[in-house]
Amino acid sequence: MAMKGEIVNTCMDAYTRDGAIRCAEILQSRHPDCEIRITEALIPNESGLFDKGFIVFPFTDDVPF
């Protein structure tokens, strides 16, 4: 179980929208007291350009916004 204020997983990779939602569902099932945020971001790719992706941020309850 996660300690208060601890980021519970290193799931901060870029995903498609569906992948990010699925990742958030898995994290929520494993850590029900955790707040899960998904944000859309520009992610640099191997050619030096940017792709749109979604990043999942899992936090416990007492991490400020």
Residue 4 lies in a domain: no
Residue 1 lies in a domain: no
Residue 56 lies in a domain: yes
How many structural domains does the chain have?
1
Residue 8 lies in a domain: no
| pTM of full prediction above 0.85 | no
Residue 38 lies in a domain: yes
Per-residue pLDDT band for 13 (boundaries 50, 70, 90) equals low
Pick 64 or 25 by higher pLDDT: 25
Range of the domain at 25: 14-60
Q: Which residues pair with 61 in a beta bridge?
A: none
Check whether 14 has a pLDDT greater than 50: yes
Residue 52 lies in a domain: yes
Residue 23 lies in a domain: yes
On whether the CB atoms of residues 14 and 46 are closer than 8 A, the answer is: no
Q: How far apart are CA 3 and CA 40, in angstroms?
A: 27
